[in-house]
Amino acid sequence: MREGQDAIVDAVTGSLTVPRSLLLGRLDAEGRLRYVGRSTTLPGAAGATLAGPVSPATSEHPWTGWTFTAGWGSKETLNVN
């Protein structure tokens, strides 16, 4: 049995024209956006399809200034938009 939950796509790795993965958030009980995880690497066609709906974050974005790593135990940082 599978169970799903809603999440907000709130950032992408790669570029805004061809996103490579999606960073996901959920609102906590106080309405603050919390990072909960990211997707696997998107196939090129899927990233190109998502390019239309994504837009640059504003300076008020709650994740502004955060650094995301490429994986558990990795020091490689992701290019996040």
Residue 11: per-residue pLDDT: 86
The dihedral built from the CA positions of residue 56, 57, 59 and 65, taken in this order, carries a sign that is negative
Measured distance CA(23)–CA(39) in Å, rounded: 7
Q: Is the pLDDT assigned to residue 76 strictly greater than 70?
A: no
Q: Is the pLDDT assigned to residue 79 strictly greater than 70?
A: no
Measured distance CA(2)–CA(15) in Å, rounded: 31
Express each pLDDT in 24-74 by its tens digit: 999 999 999 898 888 888 898 888 888 888 888 777 888 877 787 766 666
List Cβ neighbours of 57 (8 Å cut-off, separation of 6 or more). 10, 11, 63, 64, 81
| Of 24 and 1, the one with more pLDDT | 24
